[in-house]
Amino acid sequence: MKRKDWLWVLSLVAFAGCGGDEELQTPFGSVRSVEGYREALEGIIVEANALEQEVRDRAVGSTGQATGQNLSPVYQELRPGLTALIAALEGVEPPRKLAEMHAEMQEALALRLEAFDLVIAGWAIEQEQTFDEAQGLYVDAA
């Protein structure tokens, strides 16, 4: 599911969740379970977006190019926050009908962490050896 689809689903969930009757159902489960899920995700999504914005704001050099040299220190600094987001998302139990979307969000964050690690390793290799030796890691991270 694409990111814009997640936003659509979460918006639909928010609108479908209006009202306080436990008996009400949304297409994704009971109002109570969907509202609880949305509330649990809200902070995680806000933090993930803020983390991504910080990468964009800080990691691009004066040339407008993202390189191992300017990405690696930012990724090293932000990595603990990303791992905390992954752990927080793992602690959220989705309604059954949102489990696939939840798994896709987990996968997206895990892939982002993998990209962080590849760039960090690539920059270490580039410093010790050459860009050519690190290039494969950078390509995989992209």
List, for residues 60-115, the tens digit of each pLDDT value.
Answer: 766 677 888 889 999 999 999 999 999 999 999 999 999 999 999 999 999 999 99
18 inside domain: no
Structure tokens at 129: 């050896």
What gap in Å lies between CA 43 and CA 46, rounded to an integer? 5
Radius of gyration of the chain from its Cα atoms, rounded to whole angstroms: 19
User: DSSP character for 66?
Assistant: B
Cα maximum dimension of the chain: 64
State the sign of the Cα–Cα–Cα–Cα dihedral 105, 106, 108, 109: positive
28 inside domain: no
27 inside domain: no
105: containing domain: 42-141
What gap in Å lies between CA 45 and CA 28, rounded to an integer? 19
37 inside domain: no
113 inside domain: yes
Structure tokens at 93: 């139990």
3 inside domain: no
Q: What is the pLDDT of residues 13-42, one digit of tens each?
A: 555 555 554 578 888 888 888 899 999 999
Structure tokens at 92: 């959220």
Number of C-beta neighbours around residue 135 at 10 A: 14
48 inside domain: yes
**Residue entry with tokens 């008996």:** 23
| Total domains in the fold of the chain | 1
Beta bridge partners, 138, equal: none
The residue among 11 and 120 whose pLDDT is bigger is 120
